Structure 1
Amino acid sequence: MKYRVFGQKDIDVTNIYDDSRKVKKGGLFVAIKGLRSDGHNFVDQAIKNKAAVVVVERIPKSYKGEVTVVKVNDTRSALAILSSSWFGNPSKKLKVIGITGTDGKTTTATLISQILNNNSKKCGLITTVNVQIGKKSYDTGRLTTPGALSIQSFLSKMVKAGCRYAVIEVSSHAIDQKRVQGVDFEIGVLTNVTKWEHSDYHGGFRLYRDAKAELLKKSKKVVLNKDDVFYTFFLSKYKDRKVISYGIEKNADFKVSSVRLKSTGTQFLINKEYKIDSRLLGVFNVYNLVAAISASRILGISWEGILRSIHFIRPPEGRLDAFKNNKNINIFIDYAHTPNGLESCLSTLRSIYPDKRIIALVGAEGGRDVIKRQLMGAVSTKYADYTIFTSVDPGLEKEENILKDLEKGATGGYISIPDRGEAIAEAIQNIARRSDVVVICGKGHERYIDYKGVDYYWSDREAVRIALRGEVYALGKIYN
């Protein structure tokens, strides 16, 4: 990376920061231009907090030579490179597996981690849900993939904890924003790619698809879903390295057959030889599990070890989580927030409960991916007997606009209730009857809801619990 140094060159720094508010004496501050704010506007604050070095793309007008300034073309790349170096290049001491795709990333990453740990291969995990290092768990906030500085810090913690492996869920945003630059990937896994996700951010599907491809370019070995419509495209990109395929419909290196779906789990065969009996629900989880098994085999885990592990693995929080209750209603909480994810969730429940009435609570985020809202409305009313459209993370967008977009795709019975707590209460208290299925989609594990640009505490599980006792869960309130 090309750079120019203004001021003293031989200087010791005490730490690296990408948040000017956290800068301590002797620190190095990297100014990052984000979607909502620009770190260059806070260079003065970093200097006031006694930063010794600031890394920028443009020299501040107020600069008077009081600190060392390093000018680069791309501060995101600089942050990633500096962070990796600062923490001793931890990914070089680990075998890192990166998981990307539209849907299934969190589950696939979690399953790989569980298989490795169950086979005495100590593995750390970074996902949307949390960061897991041994028995310690860390909150990652609302990001699928943490920032470059946090990633390198967590990888360093894994090395110190004795981990030999790390699994990272990698979003297209993270790839584009270079959060995983400086990470050496042993294996890159691509779950699937659909056309309507993050088109607003990337400026079109091709750029979104190409962002996914970047992770695989960084990986020594690649695992692809052969049933995915873009399999051939990705395969053509990686002829120079080992590519392993998995699938149900097409012949693959890990070919699934004899799939049997039950309300208690799923059974299937791999390569007509290895019988898998899993507690995970649905065909989409067959794909997730086979992707995880494929990566585990590449890493040298025996079939015996994998089959033994299957009995112990669990899905991450908020992925078709069953909520037990005394009203005899089959209640599930799921993270489904894309058309493909919603279809996987609802079609699974329809296959498991063919004779039951399904009530789905569905929403879409504000300020992004408007194109997918109508599709989600169509998917929900196709599979569910009744749909309640409601808020997920409206942000600064008017809720009625989001709901109208969802309604445009509706082909069956529905009602729109903007308040998520009221919508959940309506589904459980007034609409659902004994033995019905109620699935609450969109939030899953998340503990916050963005309303008018402010993050309020939120929990679908608490909202369900409150609704079951006849009350309505209120935004931001924490119940006992």
Structure 2
Amino acid sequence: MNTTTLTELAGDLAAAGILSSPAPRADVAVTGASCDSRVVSAGELFVCKGAAFRPAFLASAVERGAVAYLCDEAHAAELADVAPGVPALVTSDLRRAMALCSARAFGRPDRDLRTVGITGTKGKTTTAYMLRSIVDAACGARSCGMIGTVETYDGVVDEPSRNTTPEAPDLWRNLAHARDSRLSALVMEVSSQALKYDRTFGVGLDVACFLNIGLDHISPVEHADFEDYFSSKLKIFSQCETAVVNLDSDHADRILKAASRAPRTLTFGIERPEADAWADELVASEEGVSFTLHLDGWERRVELPFPGSFSASNALAAALCAHLLGIGPEDIVRGLAATRVPGRMEFYHSRDRQLTAIVDFAHNRLAFESLLSAVRAAFSGARIIAVFGAVGGKAQERRHELPKAAAPFVDYLVFTTDDPWTEDPRDICREMERALPDGFPHEVIIDREEAAARAFELAEGRRSVVLLLAKGHETRMHMRDGYVPCLSDGELARRGIAAHDRAHSADADTDAPSAR
């Protein structure tokens, strides 16, 4: 177990110019940090943070064994009365202080662990899973840690994720677990919110990969405008040894300029011989996409179980990151072919191959255009029906951008509920309707299960593709009163395909449909 002292933590804050009061006179050993009073362990520093923080949380943390606490100036006097005699660190910048204290409390595990951070408007999760699959192919199953939108696996913790990138105490705990479990590497999705609010501050990345940039997450509770969003993402290059940049991204010149802060920059791109990793000879099919990968003087043919050139781009990013970790070409090719991503580009085929359901987490304009154009190209002549909604309370641009992005590539739209939060989903759907071209065929069905069932009903009679978008693997819906259970889009796809197979049982065997 790593051990530091409160005096050392105070010294770090003082050196950063954010210690607001003298260091406590009583020095104590600190073995970790936590910002959740329900899981704090004996010997840890408790961080008093968040709009929902209550003084009772500190009292509970002390009861569980917290030996000291970190708080901002506004709460210092009040909390001193709540926990008399418990030493405190008071700071003028709670988020940065939380990151600094967590890093030292967990013994700077990033220094003993190969870590890759991936950011971008779309493709973070898929690229992370591709890289994980490559590392596992090279080093053995379950040898690569994962911190991302879908799951967290660090050799100790193995559970669904609550945030794409966790708060600093949780993140540093995950890194420490991965180090202590002797994992071969850890790949993490790095969100714009994590970079803006210093969740990842101080994490030394071996590789920082920037996939792309597009309009997303613009709202009063996320980013005020595109510049805030973009500049937040670019911060990732200030904490890496090697920057990996997509030459095909919008604003690539600005991304490369920011990447120059890193000691080394490598690039990738489609049909980009000047890049360090590049692809050509792309061949699309209903099963995915294949291409020739060129990297470090060698070339190999790659078969991906995902459609579209954007999937090839994600694979290039993963391959280049894997190469930087010292992994060879055969394991890269094998790992890419074996990649499976929960809720991302999952295909479900009927037995007669007349109906395909595709589940994908695409939820912004850039992702919609990439996915839907690839599906239209791969499934030439098929009728394409898309089911999706838009979230409430944030990312308000999506309710206008998503219908506009979908209309050129699909034949019919079914608008439905997608995490409406504080808003009425009917109001969101009405806004989405107004964004469509006049007369575009569509309907609104608020219940997501009914919306999916209607899409599969519309698909009967000819070769069709049903797209269930934006929820992916999720089994909770964010409503006004909190999260409520819902069926995953994968389950809705399985039900739709099963219903089709039952209706056409004369031409099918009795096996259940399968996803790939």
Q: Do they superpose with TM above 0.5?
A: yes
Distance 1:168 1:429 in 2: 39
The yes-or-no answer on 1:262 pairing with 2:289 is no
Q: Which amino acid aligns with 2:466?
A: V
Report what 2:480 is aligned to.
Answer: 452
Shift of 1:134: 6.0
Confirm or deny that 1:53 pairs with 2:68.
yes
Query: Does the CA-based 8 Å contact 1:40-1:60 persist in structure 2?
Result: no
Cα gap change, 1:62/1:133 in structure 2, threshold over 3 Å: closer, same or farther?
Answer: closer
Confirm or deny: 8 A CA contact 1:43 1:60 kept in the other structure.
Answer: no
The yes-or-no answer on 1:232 pairing with 2:253 is yes
Name 1:320's counterpart in structure 2: 345
Amino acid at match of 2:489: D
Q: Does 1:305 align with 2:322?
A: no
C-alpha separation in 2, matches of 1:20 and 1:237: 38
Number of aligned residue pairs: give it. 467
| Alpha-carbon offset, residue 353 of structure 1 | 0.6
Does the aligned pair in 2 maintain the 1:133–1:158 contact within 8 Å?
yes
Q: Alpha carbons of 1:453 and 1:215: their partners in 2 closer, same or farther (altered >3 Å)?
A: farther
SS of corresponding position for 1:383: coil
1:438 match: 466
- The answer as to whether partners of 1:392 and 1:449 remain within 8 angstroms in 2 is yes
- TM-score, normalised to structure 1, is 0.90
The answer to whether the 8 A contact 1:132-1:138 is kept is yes
Match of 2:128 in 1: 109
Are residue 395 (structure 1) and residue 421 (structure 2) matched? yes
1:94 alignment partner, one of 72, 93, 113: 113
Match of residue 202 from structure 2: 182
Amino acid at match of 2:120: G
Mapped contact 2:219–2:396 kept (Cα < 8 A): no
User: Does structure 2 conserve the Cα–Cα contact (< 8 Å) formed by 1:432 and 1:438?
Assistant: no
Once superposed, what is the RMSD of the aligned Cα atoms?
2.5
- Alignment correspondent of 1:245: 267
Structure 2 residue corresponding to 1:154, chosen from 138, 151, 174: 174
Pairwise CA distance, 1:86: 2.3
Alignment check: 8 A CA contact 1:227 1:249 kept:
no
CA distance in 1, matches of 2:494, 2:336: 30
In 1, distance between residues paired with 2:57 and 2:299?
60
Question: CA separation of 1:282/1:136 partners in 2, compared to 1, >3 Å: closer, same or farther?
Answer: farther
Closer, same or farther: CA 151–432 of 1 in aligned 2, 3 Å: farther
Deviates more, 1:270-279 or 1:106-115: 270-279
Give structure 1 stretches of 5+ with no counterpart. Answer: 472-480
Partner of 1:219: 240
User: Which of 62, 68, 80 does residue 99 from structure 2 map onto?
Assistant: 80
TM-score of the two chains, using structure 2 as the length reference: 0.84
1:110 maps to a residue whose letter is: Y
CA deviation map 1:203-257 (0-9, x unaligned): 1111111111111111111011101121100211233521111112544222222
1:131 aligned to which of 142, 152, 155: 152
TM-superposed CA distance for 1:45, in Å, is 5.1
Where do residues 346-357 of structure 1 align in structure 2 (5 Å cutoff)? 346-357=372-383
Q: What is the CA–CA distance in structure 2 between the aligned matches of 1:461 and 1:55, rounded to whole Å?
A: 43
Q: Could you give the per-residue CA deviations for residues 438-480 of structure 1, whole angstroms, max 9, x where no partner exists?
A: 0100111112110114111222223334456679xxxxxxxxx
Matches of 1:264 and 1:322 in 2, distance apart? 8
Distance 1:15 1:160, change over 3 A: closer
Tell me, yes or no, if the aligned pair for 2:121 and 2:216 is still in contact at 8 Å: no
Q: Aligned AA for 1:247?
A: G
Whether the aligned pair in 2 keeps the contact of 1:93 and 1:164 (CA below 8 Å) is: no
Distance 1:469 1:225, change over 3 A: closer
Aligned partner of residue 285 in structure 1, secondary structure: helix
Provide the residue aligned with 2:34 in structure 1: 17
Cα distance, 1:332 vs. partner?
A: 1.2
CA distance in 1, matches of 2:31, 2:334: 47
| C-alpha contact (below 8 Å) 1:33/1:40 kept by paired residues | no
Deviation of residue 386 (structure 1)?
0.1
Q: Percentage identity across aligned positions?
A: 28
How far apart, in 2, do the equivalents of 1:86 and 1:267 lie?
46
String of CA shifts for 1:55-102, please: whole Å, max 9, x gaps: 111213363343212101122222222222222211110111100000
Task: Note if contact 1:57-1:74 (Cα within 8 Å) is conserved in structure 2.
Answer: yes
Moved over 6 A (4+): none
SS in 1 for 2:231: helix
Contact 1:280 1:314 in 2 (8 A): no
